[in-house]
Amino acid sequence: MSIRRYLTLILLSVITLVTFAAAIQGYRSSMAKATSVFDNELRSLTHVLINITDLSTQSLAPQPNAAFVFQIWHQNKLIFSSHPKLKTAISDFKNTFSEHNFLAQRWRTYGHFFESNNKWVLVAQPVNRRFELAEQMILAAVTPLVLCIPLLAIIIFLLVSSGLRPLRLLSENLRTKKTDDLSPILQQNQRNELSPVLETLNQLFERLNAAFSREKRFASDAAHELRTPLSVLKINAHNLAIELKNNPTTHTNIQYLQQGIERMSHVVEQILLLNRTNPEQYQGQFKQLNTAALCQTVIASLFPQIEGKKQEIELVGQGTSIQGDEFSLGILLQNLISNASKYSPQGSLIRVTLKTVDNQVVIQVEDAGPGIEKSEYQRVFERFYRIGGDRHSSKTPGCGLGLAISKHIADLHKASIKLSRSKQLSGLSVELFLPQGQPNA
């Protein structure tokens, strides 16, 4: 339940309960007030009746439906009754108020003795009239408030919505914030209660930005600093291999050294690429690209590697226009095609197929290598994970970052990668599914 709905329901519930509690209390107070007023009227009525000397006039004729009834007694004899059926005393001969039943209803009675003329005046009023008056009074007081509850609900809803507006603005600012935007959030007319939350969030953004910056600088600086000594090691290892080529033992050791240097260089380059394509720091500008042209460019850059293993590569299908970042997509395809070449045997075929499936652009890379077991399909996208570790069956050096980088780039383009067994080449089949519309960066 939202805070707005919760506050509205709670306030309406409290107002309704208070209204009914006030109605009950008002009913009790009205009954007490009505009883006091009518008792005073009955007391005054006895004094009026005792002063009437002519009880035979038409004005005092008995009225069966009168609002009150009375009797006048003299020396225990009834000398006048306002109702023809009342022949006995309607109350006790006491100067007090009481209640009695007669004429098929409940009556409030009062008796008063006048010593000056030795007469008792007994008066009575229906009790239900007192209840009717109390009900009318409380209804007159509560009805406007009850009728105003729907209006109060609307007013409360609008006031609560207005009070929560800064919270909605903060939520909207957080929702529309891009993944790489760690700048502070600034809001005008900020409520005091929301200021600590906003301050805490901005401090968190500041710490995250500092942490990402440190990570980026560390990876970039470390990779760049390693490039120079690795280049020197490559040159020295090459020169040393030439000098000791006639010594079989040392020549083998030199080859191991060169392979280690190559693997380390590969790791450094992959770290640089991974750092550049990190989603939190990604700033790529998407533009219109042709899949055929992109694949041709990547194949041309990898052709020396493919030719060195006497492999063949073919590009099948028509190119399709997509939206994406040329550099990162080039890296993705380069990793896929390079892996297909590295893990395929000498003189094998590599096929790159372009097609459209269910309104998605598909780039499929197939090879004739050993493939990957289904149980490893998910793990190969983890960073630094290699099947078999350093003892990979292909003896091909690697660091386990290629497919991880490819997965990151695919995520940046709202794309997906599917691994399977190639039906025609019997090796690994990698399908890249790209949306035809522009992905949201």
Rounded Cα distance, 338 and 369, in Å: 12
Mean pLDDT of 48-67: 60
pLDDT at 270: 62
Q: pLDDT class for 277, splitting at 50, 70, 90?
A: low
Structure tokens of 153? 């609900």
Mean pLDDT of 101-112: 90
Domain end (from 129, 151, 173): 151
- Count how many domains the chain has: 3
431 and 314 inside one domain: yes
Mean pLDDT of 391-412: 71
Indicate whether 258 pLDDT > 50. yes
pLDDT at 59: 43
99 and 212 inside one domain: no
Mean pLDDT of 294-318: 92
327 and 388 inside one domain: yes
Picking from 19-28, 70-79, 179-188, which range would have the lowest pLDDT averaged per residue? 179-188
Structure tokens of 140? 């007159």
427 and 300 inside one domain: yes
Rounded Cα distance, 354 and 366, in Å: 12
Rounded Cα distance, 8 and 6, in Å: 6
Q: What's the CATH number where 324 sits?
A: 3.30.565.10
Mean pLDDT of 41-63: 69
119 and 69 inside one domain: yes
Nearest to 352 by CA among 289, 377, 339: 339
110 and 238 inside one domain: no
**Which amino acid makes up residue 433?**
F
Contact 171, 22 (CB under 8 A): no
Structure tokens of 182? 């760690």
Residue 164 resides in a domain: no
Structure tokens of 328? 């990162």
Structure tokens of 21? 């509690």
Q: pLDDT class for 391, splitting at 50, 70, 90?
A: very low
pLDDT at 271: 62
CA neighbours closer than 13 Å in the CB half-sphere of residue 164: 16
For 311, counting Cβ atoms within 10 Å of its Cβ (0-12 exposed, 13-18 middle, 19+ buried), the class is: buried
Rounded Cα distance, 55 and 119, in Å: 14
Mean pLDDT of 362-372: 92
Length of the chain, in residues: 441
Contact 83, 103 (CB under 8 A): yes
117 and 255 inside one domain: no
Rounded Cα distance, 342 and 367, in Å: 10
Nearest to 432 by CA among 286, 333, 301: 333
Rounded Cα distance, 376 and 83, in Å: 107
76: DSSP letter:
T
Residue 431 resides in a domain: yes
Mean pLDDT of 389-404: 62
Contact 286, 319 (CB under 8 A): no
Q: What's the CATH number where 101 sits?
A: 3.30.450
Q: pLDDT class for 355, splitting at 50, 70, 90?
A: very high
422 and 393 inside one domain: yes
Indicate whether 440 pLDDT > 50. no
300 and 383 inside one domain: yes
Share the mean pLDDT of the chain: 80
Residues of the domain holding 56 = 3-151
Q: Within 277-394, where are the H helices? A: 291-308, 326-342
Q: Within 195-283, where are the H helices? A: 195-243, 248-276
Residue 167 resides in a domain: no
262 and 293 inside one domain: no
Q: pLDDT class for 283, splitting at 50, 70, 90?
A: very low
117-171, pLDDT tens digit by residue? Answer: 889 999 998 888 877 877 787 778 778 877 888 888 888 888 888 887 878 788 7
**The most confident of 271-275, 408-412, 423-427, by mean pLDDT:** 423-427
263 and 392 inside one domain: no
Residue 336 resides in a domain: yes
Mean pLDDT of 409-425: 90
pLDDT at 68: 84
203-247, pLDDT tens digit by residue? Answer: 888 888 888 777 777 766 776 677 777 777 778 777 777 777 777
268 and 290 inside one domain: no
58: DSSP letter:
G
**Residue 366, SS3?**
strand
